[in-house]
Amino acid sequence: MEPTSSSSGVDSLSEMAFSEAATPARLGHFEAPLRLQGIYLALVVFWNAAGAILIAWGLRAPGPTASLLVILFALFFAAGLIFGSRRLPGLYLGISMLMVIAGAQALVSAWTRDPALWPSDFWRYAGMALNALGSGAGIWGVLAWLAWRRGKAPA
């Protein structure tokens, strides 16, 4: 079903949003960035779960934060990205943008906070690499959404 135009020449947004042609998953626009975003979120879950376990054992976490709340957010983000990529592209865009912001904030934090908060420079740079991956995945997701919105081929 193609979007229809009203008498003013403007597409009917509600009809376009729920039509087969507007379903991004059928177009494959979000598949590659969604995979990278999923890898990033899985690594975030692993990083925070490992940190929480180490803290429970009386050891230092690999970074200054290890939170079960972050694990929950990552799992909700993953579910939201999957649902958004298939049915609600605005949700996909919003979560992708939040990934960019959160990753960038964590990168800035790693550069500006006291290096003694990490057990070693290795873990500090590993966390920076992880968050750079997250920001990059989020940027790719935003670009994929823009390409979908403009009707271009998958990124």
Exposed e or buried b per residue across 62-75, where buried means at least 16 C-beta atoms within 10 angstroms of its C-beta: bbbebeeebbebbe
The answer to whether 68 and 52 have CB atoms below 8 angstroms apart is yes
CA distance 130 to 137: 11
Answer yes or no: is pLDDT of 1 > 50: no
Q: Could you report the per-residue pLDDT of 3-59, keeping only the tens digit for each? A: 444 444 445 444 444 444 455 544 477 999 999 999 999 999 999 999 999 999 999
Q: Could you report the per-residue pLDDT of 57-68, keeping only the tens digit for each? A: 999 999 998 899
CA distance 84 to 103: 20
Query: Which pTM value belongs to this model?
Result: 0.80
Q: Could you report the per-residue pLDDT of 85-142, keeping only the tens digit for each? A: 998 999 999 999 999 999 999 999 999 999 999 999 999 999 999 999 999 999 999 9
The number of C-alpha atoms within 13 Å of 44 and in the hemisphere containing its C-beta is 28
Residue 5 has what pLDDT?
Answer: 45
Residue 117 has what pLDDT?
Answer: 93
Residue 154 has what pLDDT?
Answer: 61
Contacts for 52 with CB less than 8 Å, ≥ 6 apart = 61, 66, 67, 68, 71
Residue 96 has what pLDDT?
Answer: 97
Contacts for 13 with CB less than 8 Å, ≥ 6 apart = none
